[in-house]
Amino acid sequence: MTEVVVVIGAGSIGIAIARRISTGKRVLLADLYEEPVAAAAKVMADAGFETSTAAVDISSRTSVEALVGQAKALGDVSGVIIAAGLSPSQAPAEKILAVDLYGSALVLELFGDVMARGGTGIVVASQSGHRLPALMPEEDRLLATTPVEDLLALPMLQSDRITDPLLAYQYSKRCNALRVRAEAATRWAARGARVNSISPGIVMTPLARDELSGPRAGGYQRMIDGSPAGRAGTPDEIAALAALMMGPEGAFINGADFLIDGGVTASWFYGALRPE
């Protein structure tokens, strides 16, 4: 039976990961927009990978269900890379929560029900989730375990609490890591599959370049300049870690979140980037 790797979000990081882990497998590339998914499919096909494409809106249960059906029709789903999302400069808080928080949780649920034994998944979260101040234990539990369709009704996520798109993004990325932990111990475990998240810092992608020319450009550049690494990361560096996490050498990694940000978060709490 053909093994299928599903890549949701046809951007630089998702494609870099897929190239590392998809040899001999069919790659199903899915995105909300036709142009990036077509471009990604060409890159993958030119590199010798068998590819299929799909349109998906991860904020829609019906749309994600259709993607699951398409993936199952191609073969056994052995890998899922969730790399779709909106940045704080791309959308208002409500939309970010619908895509980055609810959408990722929905994909974890629906693909967790069909994963092949031994399969692996990864959610591309963000360093931003690590800079959100500590939540109460009950708030963490609610973000981790609330049924997907009830997530956006949580009091902590209402518009009177979250108006800033950056705060919505931070909550979403914290939720990504918490949902992975809960899913790894329950739904994915029942399938004999593993799932983890990875939290990149600033990585030079088209999205990052937009941020570096947008209204928050000063803050982004300060994080790069003030980090111990003194530079942004690359998609290949993120993919190298993800390949370890998803491959046989990472078989003991499950329900974990890995921060890979050149030391930005360390500097934010204890170094030159610490807020005054």
**What pLDDT is recorded for position 41?**
96
What global pTM score does this model have? 0.95
pLDDT attached to residue 205: 82
Domain edges within the chain: 3-201+234-262
**pLDDT confidence of residue 50:** 97
Residue 41 and residue 29 in contact, taking contact as beta carbons nearer than 8 Å: yes
User: Along the chain (276 residues), what's the average pLDDT of each consecutive run of 10 residues?
Assistant: 95 96 97 94 96 98 98 98 92 97 98 98 97 95 98 97 95 98 98 98 82 74 90 96 98 98 95 88
Domain 3-201+234-262 belongs to what architecture?
Answer: 3-Layer(aba) Sandwich (3.40)
Cβ atoms of residues 39 and 79 within 8 Å: no
Catalytically active residues, by annotation? 169, 173
The pLDDT value given to residue 208:
73
∠ CA 197-15-248, rounded to 5° = 55
pLDDT score for 155: 97
For 181-213, write each residue's pLDDT tens digit: 999 999 999 999 999 999 999 998 877 777 777
Contacts of 92 (CB under 8 A, 6+ apart): 165
Instruction: Report CA 59 to chain centroid distance, whole Å.
Output: 14
Q: Radius of gyration (Cα) for the chain, nearest Å?
A: 18
What whole-number percentage of the chain has pLDDT above 70? 99
243-249 LR contacts (CB < 8 Å, sep 24+) = 243/17, 243/20, 243/21, 245/120, 245/122, 245/196, 245/198, 246/17, 246/21, 246/79, 246/120, 246/121, 246/122, 246/196, 247/21, 247/120
